[in-house]
Structure 1
Amino acid sequence: MNGMKSQDIVVLLKLVSLQEQEDAAAPGEFQWSFQGEAPYSVRSLEALLGISKTEVNASIKRSLSSGLAIKDRDAGRAKPNRRNLHNFIVHGLKFVFPAKPGAMTRGVPTAFAAPMLKSLLISAGEYIYVWPSAEGQDMGQSVQPLFKTVPDAVRKDERLYEYLALVDAIRLGNQREAGLAGERLSERLLKK
């Protein structure tokens, strides 16, 4: 089995987002993304994330193999093992998939510059971090996202955007910033 790839985290966090949307909706009201397609299907995940069906399928297999996902006995589909996923993101992700700020560019704000995280940390006038994107409205230091399609995928899913921004805050932040992002991730992912 191949080792983890960065898009595996994107797929797992999308599955978490879908679970949360389903849990928040009244029974029978969760809207599928496509007519006749379950949101957890490989085809639906391909459309929502911009990751090919082959890669989504391989990603799920790698996540099951590594223990970051488990098979749901009732639904028969893979679901994220939230505790293991949280521990990996907080303690290991920045070493396996490090982020290095790059040149100034236009893009989608990430880390503590993301709209839903801005109020958590007051910046000392430094440049913000952005995922490079032609549709982006903000200028900042470029940070390569975990997968190239992230800037488009987060436009369709605010929960996924928050999770991936928190992941980048952990990957890029100093000890205090990473700790704050880890606490927020724990609240959201582990429902503490």
Structure 2
Amino acid sequence: MKEHSGMRPHDIVVLLKIAAKKGDSWYMKDLAHELNISASEISESINRSVIAGLIFADKKRLMKTAILDFLRYGLPYVYPQQPGSLVRGIATAHSAKPLKDIIQSEEPFVWPYFKGELRGQAIAPLHSKVPESCLKDEKFYELMSLCDALRVGKAREKNLAFKELEKRLC
């Protein structure tokens, strides 16, 4: 058995991409193409997630309760984020769907991205290719935005984000 050297930020990205597929069949090469991450990194990521107990040993089925627990109780501490300078980018956290319909805010948060149309405070994505990948998959975009709300939000935003994640993952 391989040694577990700890989770990496893009492991969450890979797990949420699988979750966005809602049970549709997928191959590692498809994830690599859709996320713009190398196939070997996808494979290593899934292996780390198996060891961490976030995906079953068959490497196809997610352990949704464990993922939700990690997102709620671990993500804000392991991969915290502080809003940065004003940049052009793509909406995230409470500035993106589904939270933007629930939370009114004058301070948009964005992933820095040169093709973005919104100006807001920069939030570093869990992987540099997340903004580009999210533009191609609305379900995945919602999951990643909700994760950012867990990373940067106040208690109310975090609670709302977690409820929305539960709806989408269970």
Category of TM-score, reference length = shorter chain = over 0.9
**What SS class does the counterpart of residue 63 from structure 1 fall into?**
helix
Residue 137 (structure 2) aligns with: 157
> 2: CA distance between counterparts of 1:5 and 1:42?
17
For 1:111, the aligned partner's letter is: A
* Cα offset, 1:129, TM superposition: 0.5
2:42 to 56, 68, 72: 56
Root-mean-square deviation (Å): 1.2
Give the structure 2 partner of residue 119 of structure 1.
101
Aligned to 1:33: none
Q: Deviations over 1:152-183 (max 9, x none)?
A: 11011100000000000111101111111111
The residue that corresponds to 2:166 in the other structure is 186
TM-score (norm 1): 0.83
**Could you tell me which amino acid in structure 1 is paired with residue 87 of structure 2?**
T
Count of aligned positions: 167
* 2:2 maps to 1:3: no
The alpha carbon displacement at 1:130 in A equals 0.3
Q: Is the 8 A contact 1:111 1:165 kept in 2?
A: yes
Determine which structure has more spread, i.e. the larger CA radius of gyration: 1
Separation (CA, whole Å) in 1 of partners of 2:168 and 2:20: 10
Shift, 1:79, TM fit: 2.2
Give unmatched runs, 5+ long, in structure 1.
23-38
Structure 1 pair 165–51 and aligned structure 2 pair: CA distance change class (3 A): same
Partners of 2:87 and 2:119 within 8 A in 1: yes
Structure 2 counterpart of 1:29: none
Counterparts in 2 of 1:18-167, with a 5 A limit?
A: 18-20=21-23, 22=24, 40-72=26-58, 77-123=59-105, 125=106, 127-167=107-147
Q: Give the 3-state SS of the residue equivalent to 1:92 in structure 2.
A: helix
Aligned partner of 2:33: which letter? A
Gaps of 5+ in 2: none
C-alpha displacement of 1:98: 0.7
Structure-1 separation of matches of 2:148 and 2:5:
24
Question: 1:60·1:78 contact (CA, 8 Å) conserved in 2?
Answer: no
Distance between the aligned counterparts of 2:84 and 2:92, measured in 1? Answer: 13
CA–CA separation in structure 2 for the residues paired with 1:81 and 1:9:
13
List structure 1 segments (4+ residues) > 4 angstroms apart after TM superposition.
none
Percent identical among aligned pairs is 38
